[in-house]
Chains A and B, each alone.
Chain A
Amino acid sequence: MKYLSEYRDPALVEDFLNEIHKITTQPWTLMEICGGQTHSLVKNGIPALLPDKITLVHGPGCPVCVTSISIIDEAIYLAQQPDTILCSFGDMLRVPGSQKSLLEVKAQGADVRILYSPLEAVKLAKENPNKQVVFFAVGFETTAPANALSVVLAAQSALENYSILASHVLVPPAMEAILSDESNTIDAFLAAGHVCTIMGLDEYYPIAQQYKCPVVVTGFEPVDLLQGILMAINQLEKGEFKVENQYARSVMPEGNLIAQKTIHQVFEVNDRVWRGIGNIPQSGYDVKNEFKKYNARYKFNIDIIAAEENKECISGDIMKGLKKPKQCPNFGTKCTPEHPLGAPMVSSEGACAAYYHYAEN
């Protein structure tokens, strides 16, 4: 497959690894932000191939993992309303709320549908005028344009029965929260390639400057990740702290302006509670007032009790890179994908899931 297979070329992988081994002289800790990057690394067995001096820690780039438990409960509440179809990305279904998961609620008869795209939900709303269709709009900045576009298209068609339950989170505030934490050990970031495809590079310059931390925007395939790691190590060894773009085949410095415009048309920035981490100011999107008809929170009177996190789940420490999944006392015992204590064990981008499925002991 073009633009995919070349970035998995074993010979190129070996070349990059050799170069990384050559230039690494000191211990460095790198964090890759995005869950997709974590999975790609662990699935290909890359961490074990890097020099021992390099420690990779995994960031909170799993939108499913950081969606607060109360929002999952909100989705479950909506799914259980009569004549309501709750649509979601497949990933969200197994994540436990305070009592159950969407999958369990579906098994009990709620109309919960797994969709590939929010645009399919709009289509579903048009085809089912007698039902309320709610799309569980979870994601980072990468998914926000599609979710926003679904609202724009619904508004264009004057649909009365479509709305979204928004749970968007933003990367730069999370990076700042991690870097400003006193126990922070991160020397450099591999920023999320897809997020930057949308938002561009601007937001990362102040972070790199203030915290003296290299930021390399990186893709997802093995060759991308290794080149990103190489670029980061190169900077660290030279004492530099710049923003660099490894994923230039998809990321423009300004990002995708139409996507950004669409996001800002529908969403405004707000504070957001990140599951396991807590409140991070100005780190989420909520639906703007002028589109409140399409905001499920405004449309429905969602009656739920604010829930507390499972105290045994240390997902916060894992997502901030302070602990590795296998350091959790419940990893693989009390907490497994079949009966998770928290989200990272269940999500396809969760660090705990990646280690559980792929990492050797």
Chain B
Amino acid sequence: MEITSQLDETFRTAKVSFGGILKEINLYMTPDAHVGDFVLVHVGVAISKVDEEEAAKIFSYLKEMGEVEELNS
């Protein structure tokens, strides 16, 4: 879910877009999340900020595995 606009800095709530649906979410537990970031939301509270670098790794995982195997064989 993408944070689209900060509503309230004091209470750390923000409007978060989930594929086009906007919902007000509490950001108390993700102080480092800002507009434009992606967060994982559970029952109205953001519980983590998506690490974009890690997120991309999954797509090269198999290739890397293949390379490691080649090295070992």
Partners in one complex: yes
User: Interface on A for B, CB 8 Å cutoff?
Assistant: 1-4, 6-7, 12, 15-16, 19, 89, 116-120, 139, 142-143, 145-146, 149, 194, 197-198, 223-224, 227, 248-252, 256, 258-259, 262
On B, residues with C-beta under 8 Å from A are 2, 18-19, 26, 28-31, 38, 40, 42-45, 47-48, 50-52, 54-55, 57-59, 61-62, 65
A266, chain B: closest CB distance, angstroms: 13
Expressed in whole angstroms, the minimum distance between the Cβ of A233 and any Cβ of chain B is 12
A3 B50 Cβ-Cβ under 8 A: yes
Residue from A4, A12, A197, A250 within 8 A of B19 (CB atoms): A4
A197 touches B51 (CB 8 A): no
Once bound together, how far apart are the Cα atoms of A4 and B52, in whole Å? 13
Contact of A250 among B18, B31, B48, B62 (CB under 8 A): B48
Other A-B pairs, 9, CB within 8 Å; known A250-B48, A251-B48: A12-B59, A15-B62, A89-B43, A119-B44, A145-B47, A146-B44, A249-B54, A249-B55, A249-B58
SS class of chain A's interface: helix, strand, loop or mixed?
helix
Q: Chain A residues near B30 (CB, 8 Å)?
A: 256, 258
**Is A6 touching B59 in the complex (CB atoms < 8 A)?**
yes
Determine whether the beta carbon of B29 is less than 8 Å from that of A262.
yes
Question: What separation, in Å, do the CA atoms of A252 and B29 have in the docked complex?
Answer: 14
The answer to whether residues A7 and B58 also contact, given A116-B43, A118-B43, A250-B40 and a CB cut-off of 8 A, is yes
Say how far A180's CB is from chain B's closest CB, in angstroms.
Answer: 30
Known: A19-B62, A19-B65. A250 touches B50 (CB 8 A): yes
How far in angstroms is the closest Cβ of chain B from A190? 15
Q: B residues within 8 A CB of A117?
A: 26, 43-45
Q: What residues of chain A lie closer than 8 Å to B55, measured between beta carbons?
A: 3, 249
B14 to chain A, nearest CB (A): 13
Taking A1-B19, A256-B29, A258-B29 as contacts, is the C-beta distance between A197 and B48 under 8 angstroms?
yes
Smallest CB gap from A118: residue in B: B43
Return the 7 tightest CB-CB contacts between A and B, nearest first: A117-B44, A249-B55, A1-B19, A248-B54, A249-B54, A146-B45, A117-B43
The answer to whether B62 and A146 touch across the interface, beta carbons within 8 angstroms, is no
**A12-B2 Cα distance, complex, nearest whole Å:** 24
Neighbouring B residues of A146 by C-beta, 8 Å: 26, 42-45
Contact B44 A118 (CB under 8 A): yes
Q: Which of chain A's residues has its CB closest to B23's CB?
A: A116
CA of A197 to CA of B44, assembled, Å: 15
Bound-complex Cα distance A198 to B46 (A): 11
Please name all residues of chain A whose beta carbon is closer than 8 Å to the beta carbon of B40 when the two chains form the complex: 194, 197, 250
Residues in A with CB closer than 8 Å to B28 are 149, 258, 262
Residues of A within 8 A of B48 (CB): 197, 250-252, 256
